[in-house]
Amino acid sequence: GAVVSQHPSWVICKSGTSVKIECRSLDFQATTMFWYRQFPKQSLMLMATSNEGSKATYEQGVEKDKFLINHASLTLSTLTVTSAHPEDSSFYICSATAGADNSPLHFGNGTRLTVT
Amino acid sequence: DAKTTQPNSMESNEEEPVHLPCNHSTISGTDYIHWYRQLPSQGPEYVIHGLTSNVNNRMASLAIAEDRKSSTLILHRATLRDAAVYYCILTGGNQFYFGTGTSLTVIP
């Protein structure tokens, strides 16, 4: 089955530093990747949608200069949380699809970010 | 924005069937119905999806109402490993918004 690898699985960083999270599709070409954020006991909140080679589309209320998304190839997307603050602490999850509406989403295992 | 409505929680006894409902009264003709489940501290896992006809796979069955305004995910024999949050979402125009989902508890 299709596999999405997300790295790191957890990270602790100091306030003001930046953190990069990688998301790779291992055995398929991901034309579209999605980044979600999930707070405890809540559902997944879509942050942005990215297509390979083009700029990401951010959801309302998500700061594009703070959450930098790069989708440079059909198998790799990165999310960089810049100048992280404690309120950015959350569970970040990436997902990928081959693109068609009838293609399922394949998820990474998530990254637990803790900003101290 | 999420366009589905699901009960917040459900319980099932182990080895009994479970029917998880989902209402999507504003579904459009091109929306697919997808189901995912999420275990604690993990990314969601794809379960099943369909458009109009009922679907079966090794994990579950998906029953879609004739008017497509609702659907039901059927786990034929619940196991303890099926305890998770189940999300029903509509995908149209490559948009994947999650609702609150149903937290399934499986009782041994």
pLDDT digits (tens, 9 = 90+) for B6-27: 999 999 999 999 999 999 998 9
Q: A110 at the B interface (CB within 8 A)? A: yes
On whether any CB of chain B is under 8 Å from the CB of A36, the answer is: yes
pLDDT at A100 over 70: no
CB atoms within 10 A of CB B25: 11
CB contact under 8 A, B32 and A97: no
Q: In terms of Cα–Cα distance, which of B16, B29, B41 is closest to B90?
A: B29
> Contact at 8 Å (CB) between A111 and A20?
no
Q: Which residue of B has its CA nearest to A32?
A: B94
Name the pLDDT band for B29 (thresholds 50, 70, 90): confident
- Around A113, how many Cα atoms within 13 Å sit in the side-chain half-sphere? 31
The pLDDT of residue A84: 97
What chain A residue is nearest to B88 in terms of C-alpha separation?
Answer: A43
**Side-chain-facing half-sphere of A42: CA atoms under 13 Å:** 11
Torsion angle in degrees (nearest 10) through CA of B73, B76, B77, B80: -20
Q: Which of B34, B42, B96 sits opposite A34 (nearest CB)?
A: B96
Cβ–Cβ of B42/A109 closer than 8 Å?
A: yes
* Banded pLDDT at A51 (limits 50, 70, 90): confident
Instruction: Give Cα separations from B83 to B13, B102, B107 (angstroms).
Output: 11, 10, 9
| pLDDT the model gives residue B9 | 97
**Residue of B29 and A58 predicted with greater confidence:** A58
What is the arithmetic mean of pLDDT over A45-73? 91
Give the pLDDT confidence score for residue B35 in this predicted structure.
96
A98 inside 8 A of chain B by CB = no
Please check whether residue A99 touches B, CB under 8 A: yes
State the pLDDT confidence band at B97, using cuts at 50, 70 and 90: confident
Exposure class string for A50-83: b at 16+ Cβ within 10 A, else e = bbbeeebebeeebeeeebbbebeebbbbbbebee
Q: In this complex, is the C-beta atom of A62 within 8 Å of any C-beta atom belonging to chain B?
A: no
CB A12 within 8 A of CB A116: yes
Q: What is the mean pLDDT of chain A?
A: 92
Q: What is the mean pLDDT of residues A78-107?
A: 90
Mean pLDDT score of chain B, rounded to an integer?
Answer: 93
Residue of higher predicted confidence among A100 and A6: A6
Q: Categorise residue B36: left if φ over 0, alpha if ψ from -120 to 50, beta otherwise.
A: beta
Pairing of strands A76-81, A19-25: antiparallel
Question: Taking CB atoms and an 8 Å limit, are B46 and A106 in contact across chains?
Answer: yes
Instruction: Look at residue B33 and tell me whether its pLDDT is greater than 70.
Output: yes
Preferred mutation among A3, A44, A71, A103 to probe B, highest tally of B CBs within 10 A: A44
In the prediction, which pLDDT does A2 show? 77
B66-96 pLDDT per residue, tens: 999 999 999 999 999 999 999 999 987 777 8
Split at pLDDT 50, 70, 90, the class of A31 is confident
